[in-house]
Amino acid sequence: MAKFVIQKSGPLEGVVEISGAKNAVLPILAATLLSSEKCVLEGVPALKDVDIMCDIIQALGVSVNRSIEESKVEIDASVINTSRAPDHLVEKMRASMVAMGPLLARMGKAEIHLPGGCAIGDRPIELHLKGLKALGAEIDISENGLVKGKTDGLVGTDIYLDFPSVGATENIVMAACLASGTTLLENAAQEPEIVDMCNFLNKMGARIKGAGTDTIKIEGVKSLRGARHVIIPDRIEAGTFMVAAAITRGTILVKNMLPDHVKPIIAKLRECGCDIFMTPEGVVVDASDRELKSTDIKTLPYPGFPTDIQSPFMALLTTVEGHSTVIETVFENRYMHVRELNKMGADISVKDRCAIINGGRPLKGTNVLATDLRAGAAVVLAGLVAEGVTEVSQIYHIERGYENFVEKITNLGGIIKRVDD
């Protein structure tokens, strides 16, 4: 098993370029199943999750031609040999469930095992299945966790989501594209990644309006064509490097990002005392020679503060004098990084969904775990400012979501290397 070995580094300085968004490319890869014509995706990051989704699509009989060097994937789904996704791949990644809607719409049937992924809380697929049932699919879940769906033809309808689930929104929208009639999806998730997916689908000939709002209208069409699309930049990776500048008291120019997608992160970093300004090249975060202040954060669905930045931001707050409060409202089990940060000398207590950080305690390097993707990013950032050496295990979580993480940190002056045990 590989691990990261990190030493205390000086302030991170320089330029970092953000990769394509993991949470955008995964549903867009699934969306290519809706067309029998070739699709070309650019700006595709080299990530473990992308590897898995490409493998799933290929296992269905689809032609997948990927160039890591060019960050490009060509998909030809003119032939789909099976509607059963391989269990051993699906169980590695929760996002694999978004293949169900496209398969039902295109093939009239789909079989996908209950998925895996980060253990950050209860992320039920009930909303996915409820929406697909509303469109006319018959759904059955066997005792061993195999979800089977079939339909003689999906029919548009009105659907209200009990919670603005990103995955459920994606699955329902993709399925509704080939349904007969009109679907109105209310209380839909509004994340930029959903907007990117809908833009891609519209290029394919779908008729979708309202993406990015809480109400999405989809007029079904008989078929979709191929399309070429560039994936949006990863706002969570951008946020992570913005926090990296703050925690190391450095200055980083973050290139290839969309500032509108990270407004809550910018606001909170400014509350902490960082200077943030826009340039033609990107966003500069300057925390050099500053005494940062404590602040409070509360995670919310987009456009609120992103739950995926909660862990790295908490690592920052451990280095700031004063008391800070973090309230996690999206996932109930997203405080597993607290134990790891406390191992490093932080003083964090948790009660229910509220974490209290007594900041300003010196952090010390030790052996810690990347308990999930974003928790892994948090302990890496903490390791950059901790005295001594920090060893981070279970880094496969981190490599699911950050492209060239070690290289990018090293280019900014961080002392980190990937080693095999």
Name the pTM for this structure. 0.95
pLDDT, residue 124, reads 66
Domains and CATH numbers, the chain: 2-18+233-420 (3.65.10.10), 22-230 (3.65.10.10)
Query: Is the pLDDT reported for residue 122 higher than 60?
Result: no
Which two structure tokens, joined as six digits, stand for 19?
């990769």
Residues with Cβ within 8 Å of 26's Cβ and at least 6 positions away in sequence, in order, are 49, 50, 53, 95, 98
Residue 216 backbone dihedrals phi, psi, to 5 degrees: -115, 130
Report the pLDDT averaged over residues 258-272.
98
Please, are residues 339 and 353 in contact by the beta-carbon 8 Å criterion?
no
Q: Which residue has the higher pLDDT, 176 or 92?
A: 176
275 touches 286 (CB < 8 A): yes
> What is the average per-residue pLDDT within 104-132?
79
Is pLDDT above 90 for 143? Answer: no
pLDDT of 281 above 70: yes
109, 151 Cβ separation under 8 angstroms: yes
Residues 6+ apart with CB under 8 A from 232: 20, 21, 24, 43, 192, 193, 196, 258, 261
The average pLDDT across 88-109 equals 92
Q: Is 67 left (phi over 0), alpha (psi -120 to 50) or beta?
A: beta
Phi-psi region of 153 (alpha: psi -120 to 50; beta: other; left: phi over 0): left
Residues 345, 371, 324, CA angle at the centre, nearest 5°? 45
- DSSP β-ladder status, 228-230 and 38-42: parallel
- Measured between its terminal Cα atoms, the distance across the chain in Å is 6
Percent above pLDDT 90 for the chain:
91
Looking at the annotation, which residues are catalytic?
Answer: 118
**Which residue has better confidence, 349 or 124?**
349
- Rounded to the nearest 10 degrees, how much is the dihedral formed by the CA atoms of 13, 304, 98, 59? 10
- Look at the chain and count its residues: 421
Contact 347, 356 (CB under 8 A): no
Q: Which residues contact 250 (CB under 8 A, 6 or more apart)?
A: 10, 11, 12, 13, 244, 287, 288, 412, 413
Residue 23: which residues within 8 A CB-CB, separation 6 or more? 95, 166, 191, 193, 234, 236
- The confidence score (pLDDT) of residue 121 equals 44
Instruction: For residues 90-100, give the mean pLDDT.
Output: 88
Tokens found for residue 385: 């400012």
Residue indicated by tokens 């699911």: 400
pLDDT at 118 over 70: no
| pLDDT attached to residue 95 | 83
* CA–CA distance, 105 with 101 (Å, rounded to integer): 6
The CA radius of gyration of the chain, in Å to the nearest whole number, is 21
Please give the Cα distance from 6 to 315 (Å, whole number): 15
Report yes or no: 176 and 183 within 8 Å, Cβ to Cβ.
yes
Residues 137-154, buried b or exposed e (16+ Cβ, 10 A)? bebeeeeeeebbbebeeb
Task: Write the pLDDT tens digit of every residue in 369-386.
Answer: 999 999 999 999 999 999
**Does 415 have pLDDT greater than 90?**
yes
Report, as an integer, the average pLDDT of 127-135: 96
pLDDT digits (tens, 9 = 90+) for 191-235: 999 999 999 999 999 999 999 999 999 999 999 999 999 999 999
Q: Is the pLDDT of residue 178 over 90?
A: yes
C-alpha atoms less than 13 angstroms from C-alpha of 344 in its C-beta half-sphere: 35
**What residues pair up with 325 in beta bridges, in sequence order?**
356
